[in-house]
């Protein structure tokens, strides 16, 4: 895939993954004031210019979730650095989100929804 096509594919895939979160109201209690950052790396990404980034949130506190910025490459954000670190060790894992969590929420994600999660404090 040529670089322009892959960038377009990554952007559209990230937007498609966020679509369900944007269509349905979410309790503002579940989303921190600064929003939730998401990222998706191009194959072989080595720096932030190879990672698409977007942040969603509830800017008006009304439960309407919306993007707080457009999908952008080249952002120096913690989620971007996490993705770059993970892809060094496992190139198949190219996307991530950083969510606030409780131990119970983490257990539900890992055990009930069978999602691959990593946590840190």
Distance CA 121, CA 119 (A): 7
CATH numeric code, 3-112: 3.40.225.10
In this prediction, residue 107 has a pLDDT band, given cuts at 50, 70 and 90, of: confident
pLDDT mean over 15-20: 88
Comparison of pLDDT for 20 and 29, the residue scoring more: 20
Lowest mean pLDDT across 29-38, 70-79, 81-90, 108-117 = 108-117
Give the pTM. Answer: 0.82
Q: Domain ranges in the chain?
A: 3-112
Predicted confidence (pLDDT) per residue in 27-60, tens digit: 777 778 788 899 999 999 999 999 999 998 877 6
pLDDT of residue 21: 80
pLDDT of residue 53: 96
pLDDT of residue 84: 97
In this prediction, residue 61 has a pLDDT band, given cuts at 50, 70 and 90, of: low
Q: Where are the beta strands (DSSP E) in the chain?
A: 36-41, 51-57, 66-67, 72-73, 95-97
- Measured over the CA atoms of residue 90, residue 98, residue 8 and residue 114, the dihedral's sign is positive
Whether the CB-CB separation of 99 and 61 falls below 8 Å is answered with no
In this prediction, residue 105 has a pLDDT band, given cuts at 50, 70 and 90, of: confident
């Amino acid at each position: 895939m040529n670089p322009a096509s892959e960038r377009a594919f990554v952007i559209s895939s990230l937007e498609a993954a966020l679509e369900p979160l944007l269509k349905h109201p979410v309790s503002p209690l579940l989303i921190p004031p600064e929003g939730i950052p998401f990222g998706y790396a191009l194959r072989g990404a080595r720096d932030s210019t190879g990672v698409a980034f977007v942040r969603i949130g509830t800017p008006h506190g009304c439960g309407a979730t919306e993007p707080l910025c457009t999908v952008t490459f080249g952002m120096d954000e913690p989620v971007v650095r996490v993705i770059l670190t993970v892809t060094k060790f496992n190139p198949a894992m190219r996307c991530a989100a950083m969510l606030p969590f409780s131990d119970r929420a983490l257990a539900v994600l890992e055990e009930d929804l069978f999602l691959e999660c990593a946590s840190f404090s």
